């Protein structure tokens, strides 16, 4: 198909060539003008700049806006990084706050342990609870003290308020504590102020029952329960709890120890019994008749001989 020589492209092509040529000549003239080293040309350049540059503020506005946007973006990036850093520091502060609360709780438990009034003759070892049985059929906890600390079977353990249980099983570095709520626990107690003696028997419930009460009618809810010291199982007058009547109408003991937060336990060193060095001394010697004097014995001998 033949081209139309009378079309618009036939007239615009020479015009574009003229404009491009003129622009090239203008740029070449500006280049030569800025390269000529002459005082007269220098004054001309200064006059030209003073005349044209103030009039080009509108041309610099997009450049200025773009530069401002770049600065704002960089500033936003810095603010975002600072915000992320503050978030990380806030998370760290929350972790430190949680650690501080835990330390405060532990400190409060230790202060409770120090406030318990005990017999001055009794000494103790404080241990940390590191595990529990986790079984509803066996109520016990594990301490981080053992034979290396002088712990022995049967010793009583207390928290910051009352009696918790007794040592039952000692390793070199650990010891197991059978709690008062365990079904294998049996301790002799006294109910005050009536003075009734009883046996606190664990049944895997939070409030173990009182058994073998001589006069149950003298026992009232709210009475104080302490250890009796009978049999040398536990030291006497250790706080156990208060009497409460259970749903089954049995007298039970609301334990003073906080079983929900057992963190530190005090192991009481009980008085040791005197060792028996002479087992034969426990058997009494047979009763012998008194010996008669020699003067009285001789007549009796003579009479026997005459007969």
Strands 251-255 and 196-201, bridge-based pairing? unpaired
Q: How many CB atoms lie under 10 A from the CB of residue 243?
A: 22
Residue 306 has pLDDT above 80, yes or no: no
pLDDT in tens, 47-78: 766 666 665 566 667 777 888 888 888 888 88
More confident residue, 203 or 9: 203
What confidence score (pLDDT) does residue 296 get?
A: 52
Residue 121 has pLDDT above 90, yes or no: no
What confidence score (pLDDT) does residue 244 get?
A: 93
In the chain, the percentage of residues whose pLDDT exceeds 70 is 71
What confidence score (pLDDT) does residue 1 get?
A: 47
Top mean pLDDT of 1-10, 13-22, 131-140, 264-273 is at 13-22
Residue 159 has pLDDT above 60, yes or no: yes
- Give the three-class secondary structure for 131: strand
- Range in 41-55, 153-167, 258-272 with the lowest mean pLDDT: 41-55
Q: What is the mean pLDDT of residues 215-225?
A: 91
Q: What is the mean pLDDT of residues 177-206?
A: 92
The DSSP code sequence of 32-79 is HHHH---HHHHHHHHHHHHHHGGGGHHHHHHHHHHHHHHHHHHHHHHH
More confident residue, 33 or 240: 240
List Cβ neighbours of 225 (8 Å cut-off, separation of 6 or more): 189, 190, 191, 192, 200, 210, 239, 240, 241, 242, 243, 253
Determine if the pTM surpasses 0.75: no
Residue 281 has pLDDT above 90, yes or no: no
């Amino acid at each position: 198909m033949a081209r139309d020589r009378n079309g618009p492209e036939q007239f615009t092509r020479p015009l574009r060539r003229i404009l491009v040529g003129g622009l090239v000549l203008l740029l070449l003239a500006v280049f030569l003008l800025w390269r000529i080293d002459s005082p007269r040309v220098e004054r001309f350049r200064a006059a030209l700049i003073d005349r044209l540059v103030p009039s080009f503020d509108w041309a610099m506005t997009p450049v200025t806006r773009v530069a401002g946007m770049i600065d704002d973006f960089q500033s936003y990036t810095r603010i975002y990084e600072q915000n992320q850093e503050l978030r990380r520091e806030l998370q760290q502060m929350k972790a430190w706050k949680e650690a501080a609360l835990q330390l405060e709780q532990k400190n409060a438990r230790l202060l409770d342990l120090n406030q318990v009034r005990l017999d001055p003759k009794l000494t103790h070892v404080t241990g940390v609870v590191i595990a529990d049985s986790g079984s509803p059929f066996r109520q016990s906890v594990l301490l981080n003290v053992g034979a290396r600390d002088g712990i022995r079977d049967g010793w009583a353990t207390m928290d910051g308020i009352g009696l918790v249980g007794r040592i039952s099983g000692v390793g070199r570095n650990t010891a197991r504590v059978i709690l008062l709520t365990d079904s294998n626990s049996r301790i002799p107690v006294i109910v005050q102020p009536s003075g009734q003696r009883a046996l606190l028997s664990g049944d895997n419930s939070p409030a173990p029952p009182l058994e073998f009460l001589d006069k149950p009618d003298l026992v009232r809810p709210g009475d104080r329960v302490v250890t009796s010291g009978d049999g040398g199982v536990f030291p006497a007058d250790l706080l156990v709890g208060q009497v409460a009547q259970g749903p089954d109408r049995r007298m039970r003991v609301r334990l003073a120890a906080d079983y929900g937060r057992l963190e530190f336990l005090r192991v009481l060193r009980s008085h040791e019994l005197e060792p028996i060095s002479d087992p034969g001394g426990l058997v009494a010697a047979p009763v012998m008749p008194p010996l008669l004097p020699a003067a009285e014995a001789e007549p009796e001998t003579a009479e026997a001989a005459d007969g």
